[in-house]
Amino acid sequence: MERAEQLAEQNLQAAAEAFSAIACDEEVADEVRLSAAEQLADLDPRAAASACTAIAGDGAVADEVRLSAAELLAAVDPHAAALACTAITGDGAVADEVRLSAAELLATVHPRR
């Protein structure tokens, strides 16, 4: 992660690729993946959307981290955020309060008309 941050000062494309690799790597700790996705959002919003979708949809990731990824996703790609929120709310293994928060986020990114 440190190396990717250093790259951001010298080569934005290489930094974006490094942050994307970290964010999408299931072997990396949940919070580190989310942090990489947050950094990536400033460099490459499309890649950030892909990374956040991967994190939010990964049932092995901690509930709060999944929700945070969906929240970050809402700023970049509301449609993808709606899909992520739907996945979280439909996952019975996710804590009720996180599912509720995901449902509330869903209502803001995909309001019923």
pLDDT in tens, 62-107: 999 999 999 999 988 999 999 999 999 999 999 999 999 999 999 9
**pLDDT, greater one: 3 or 70:** 70
Cβ-based neighbours of 55, under 8 Å, separated by 6 or more? 23, 30, 33, 34, 37, 61, 65, 66, 69
Q: What pLDDT is attached to residue 96?
A: 97
Q: What pLDDT is attached to residue 110?
A: 78
- For residues 87 and 57, give the distance between their C-alpha atoms in angstroms, rounded to a whole number: 7
Q: Which of 27-31, 86-90, 95-99, 108-112 has the lowest mean pLDDT?
A: 108-112
Q: Which residue segment(s) compose the domain that 26 sits in?
A: 2-109
Q: How confident is the model at residue 113 (pLDDT cuts 50, 70, 90)?
A: low
Q: What pLDDT is attached to residue 13?
A: 85
Q: How many domains does the chain have?
A: 1
Q: What pLDDT is attached to residue 7?
A: 66
